Structure 1
Amino acid sequence: MADKTAQYGWDASTGISLYDKIRQDMKTSMINKDTQVRDTMRLIMGAFPEITVPITLESGKKSTRAKTPEEITDEDIQNIIRKFVKSEKTVLEIKKETSSNYLTLLESYLPKMATTQEIEAWIKSNVDFSAIKSPMQAMGTVMKHFGKLADGNQVKAILQGMTVKK
């Protein structure tokens, strides 16, 4: 299974939108009769109607409508995939497992997360601890820089580790 899923996944540097890549991988998985990948792509594509844009009706009432394929951004799709990843991690936690093929496949469509070393290096070079009372006050600054590429719990653990070192 691991070698089969190697052909799937997405990277922003490929020059293809995430929307198009998911549609392309859906076709490939159907041709290859790879049901797990096919079902995962269907799950992601099935959530596309949840991607909405606010509108105001003629009556003045606020509403929403589903985005057209041209309006869907990579970030919209990544948010959907992140919801599925979070859900799968919860299921795995209950099962007392650490990973699954489904989780690995989903994560292959997301940008690579920042490593602990990358976060620590950025904190050491960009955060002035003498100006703040507690290293935890730097949490907002660090999360603003890394955004969704860093897990909040991971950043918190790193900052708490720096508190111990002082």
Structure 2
Amino acid sequence: MAIVDDIRAAMKAAMKAGETERRDHARVVLAEFQRLPTKEVDDARAVKILRALAASEREMLKARGEERSGFLDFVEEFLPRMMDEAEIRAWIEANVDLSAYPNRLQAMRPIMEALSGQADGALVKRVLSGM
């Protein structure tokens, strides 16, 4: 099932269960998808929008001195799991010939293209610097 369909299903379930806060979170996210010029939202586009919403929410929470919110938890529920440092290191060792690059950090572009949406760029950079 696509991410958009998962969010719609979560909204319907929240409505049936009387969870108004969760329902409202789903409505906000779905409204963001509706703002796109095309009404068809693929998973890659949905992830990009969800990441932007999460980043915006984190900034607002930081400004208020808070750490978590129900909206941030809701958005992160639908984001794919990010790779940790050990997984990134193992993937690089198995798939990238670092000797082909004069500088290890020059491998960032192909690595990030291959791991798009699965790994944080800052973490990948830290792993490459430590290899």
| TM-score normalized with structure 1 length | 0.69
Which residue, 44, 57, 69 being the options, matches 1:88? Answer: 57
Separation in 2, partners of 1:133, 1:72: 40
Higher mean C-alpha displacement, 120-129 vs 97-106: 97-106
Contact 2:104/2:129 (8 A) holds in 1? yes
Q: Deviations over 1:9-43 (max 9, x none)?
A: xxxxxxx2322222221121122221221111010
1:158 lines up with 2:127 in the alignment = yes
Higher mean C-alpha displacement, 144-153 vs 124-133: 124-133
Q: Partner amino acid for 2:10?
A: D
1:144 is matched with which residue? 113
Separation in 1, partners of 2:45, 2:128: 30
2:3 is matched with which residue? 18
User: Between Structure 1 and Structure 2, whose CA radius of gyration is higher?
Assistant: 1
Which residue, 39, 44, 64 being the options, matches 1:75? Answer: 44
Contact 1:143/1:152 (8 A) holds in 2? yes
Which residue, 26, 29, 39 being the options, matches 1:41? Answer: 26
Q: Partner amino acid for 2:130?
A: G
Q: Partner amino acid for 2:84?
A: T
**Greater helix share, 1 or 2?**
2
5+ long unaligned stretches in structure 2 = none
**Greater strand share, 1 or 2?**
1
- The count of corresponding residues between Structure 1 and Structure 2 is 131
2:102 is matched with which residue? 133
Q: Deviations over 1:47-100 (max 9, x none)?
A: 122222xxxxxxxxxxxxx42xxx332233222211111111222333454433
Aligned CA distance change for structure 1 residues 72 and 86 (closer, same or farther; 3 Å) = same
Which residue, 85, 103, 108 being the options, matches 2:77? Answer: 108
Contact 2:47/2:117 (8 A) holds in 1? no
Higher mean C-alpha displacement, 27-36 vs 147-156: 27-36
Separation in 1, partners of 2:116, 2:102: 23
Q: CA RMSD in A?
A: 1.9
Separation in 1, partners of 2:74, 2:18: 16
